[in-house]
Amino acid sequence: MKKYFFTVLLLLGISFLGWQIYQHVNSDKKVVKRQRKKVPVAVEIAPIRQATVQDIGRYSGSLYPNAAFIMAPKIAGRLEKIWVNIGDKLQSRQLIAVLDDAEYKQQVSQAKAELEVVRANLLEQENALENAKREYERAVALRKKKIASESQLDASLSEMKAQGAKLKVTIARVAQNEAAMRVANVRLEYTQIHVPDNNSAGCRVVGERFVDEGAMLAPNTPIVSIIDIGKLIAAIHVIEQDYPKISVGQKAVISTDAFPDRSFSGKVVRIAPILKEKSREARIEIEIPNPRKILKPGMFVRAQIQFEKYENATVVPTAAVIKRNTLQGVFIVDPDGKTARFVPVTLGIMDSKISEIRTPAMVGSVVVLGQHLLEDGASIIIPDNQATDKQPAKDTKTQL
């Protein structure tokens, strides 16, 4: 019995000792927590401002001519003369090259002579048909008088039909030779190579020259390339995230390293209907007027396209935005300047410097440095040079 009583007392003593230790430790934690909460945190602040913000997409790409094509002969021959060189301006129907035409002139002469022969045959055949018709008519008259036999009448009829058939063949040969004559003339015209008709006179220039005089050319051998630089196309590639924001007709601002102090206006004219699987990017084409011809195909360019613009938007430094418990927000300084409270926000347009606050409406200042050490309602210390800068700044304009 004494042993049992002693055991109970021992257990009670151990339990009481454990409870005392727990109370002591818990009390120390609360004291430390209260002390931490009361210790002010040195921070830096910035005013909440009203500004004009823009969501601008920035891309890079290359310039391409509005139109480009190769001038090449349609026939074979030796290049006798080339009248243009790289950079020359071209007019509509301007002569740019001539092939040796001696052989093609001879073909025209031959076709003309053959046509004269078949035309003479046509006249001869027409006369033969007229004679056959008169013989047939005479045979019919003699047959009525019982002078000519039935076989003589049939023979004259057959002869008339034969001459008529020969006339049709001769007429077809005349048409055939006339076509051959036209072909020979066309091939002779092909020895002179002209710039095609166009509605952009003065905007087409020679981009490249591929051959020299005296070269033997096969059909479709490139002679020169012609480009239209009255308007240029800036080809850029946009990511999947920006693709829905772009539409035909949107304005764009173009800049290039060749003219660092200038910008050029353009507009979106074509949007690729597909995105490349490897890059997840789509090709966008921007048309740029080039009246002074200072922009050239192949130049590297940068393009800016404005997606959104808001005036009098509430903005804070991006450094002020922090995430707490899956919520994005800012620490706004209380009016007394001694504490800061965490306010969840809905963000709008953002970049590395400025972030737009869509909701809630707010004024005052936010913590931009040291907020990672703060809890909601924490005490803060503001440097002397910022202590008086607690009011919202006047309206400014900011481009994001």
Is residue 327 domain-shared with residue 297, that is, in the same domain? no
Q: For residues 192 and 100, is the Cβ–Cβ distance under 8 A?
A: no
Q: How far is CA 309 from the centre of its chain?
A: 24
- Whether residue 163 is contained in a domain is answered as yes
Tell me whether residue 114 is exposed, middle or buried, using C-beta atoms within 10 angstroms of its C-beta: 0 to 12, 13 to 18, 19 or more: middle
Helix, strand or coil, per DSSP, at residue 222: coil
Q: For residues 314 and 356, is the Cβ–Cβ distance under 8 A?
A: yes
pLDDT at residue 146 in the model: 75
CATH of residue 265 = 2.40.30.170
Choosing from 283, 309, 335, the residue where a domain stops is 309
Is residue 282 domain-shared with residue 330, that is, in the same domain? no
CA-to-CA separations, 81 to 18, 182, 187, 222, 226, in angstroms, rounded: 111, 25, 17, 15, 18
Per run of 10 residues, the mean pLDDT along the chain (length 400 residues) is: 57 66 60 58 92 92 95 96 94 94 95 94 91 84 77 82 91 95 96 85 86 96 95 96 95 96 96 95 97 94 93 93 91 91 93 91 92 90 68 47
- Whether residue 379 is contained in a domain is answered as yes
pLDDT at residue 8 in the model: 55
Is residue 320 domain-shared with residue 299, that is, in the same domain? no
Is residue 165 domain-shared with residue 145, that is, in the same domain? yes
Is residue 317 domain-shared with residue 392, that is, in the same domain? yes
Query: What is the DSSP code string of 235-299?
Result: EEEEETTTGGG--TT-EEEEEETTEEEEEEEEEEEEE-SS--TTT-EEEEEEEEE-TT--S-TT-
Q: How far is CA 28 from the centre of its chain?
A: 68
What's this model's pTM, rounded to 2 decimal places? Answer: 0.68
DSSP state of 195: P
Identify the bridge partners of residue 281 per DSSP, sorted by sequence position.
Answer: 239
The pair of three-digit structure tokens given for residue 62, joined into one six-digit string: 């290359």
The domain in which residue 301 lies consists of 239-309
Neighbouring CB atoms inside 10 A of 324's CB total 15
pLDDT at residue 388 in the model: 46
Helix, strand or coil, per DSSP, at residue 202: coil
Q: How far is CA 70 from the centre of its chain?
A: 22
- Whether residue 295 is contained in a domain is answered as yes
Could you give the dihedral angle defined by the CA atoms of residues 138, 139, 142 and 144, in that order, rounded to the nearest 10 degrees? -110
pLDDT at residue 395 in the model: 46
Could you give the dihedral angle defined by the CA atoms of residues 325, 330, 334 and 339, in that order, rounded to the nearest 10 degrees? 50
Neighbouring CB atoms inside 10 A of 88's CB total 15
Could you give the dihedral angle defined by the CA atoms of residues 25, 27, 28 and 29, in that order, rounded to the nearest 10 degrees? 90
- Whether residue 199 is contained in a domain is answered as no
Is residue 352 domain-shared with residue 321, that is, in the same domain? yes
Is residue 294 domain-shared with residue 342, that is, in the same domain? no
Is residue 287 domain-shared with residue 315, that is, in the same domain? no
In the chain, the number of structural domains is: 3
Is residue 289 domain-shared with residue 317, that is, in the same domain? no
CA-to-CA separations, 29 to 39, 51, 377, in angstroms, rounded: 15, 46, 20
Choosing from 253, 281, 309, the residue where a domain stops is 309
Q: For residues 269 and 301, is the Cβ–Cβ distance under 8 A?
A: no
Choosing from 284, 309, 334, the residue where a domain stops is 309
- Whether residue 130 is contained in a domain is answered as yes
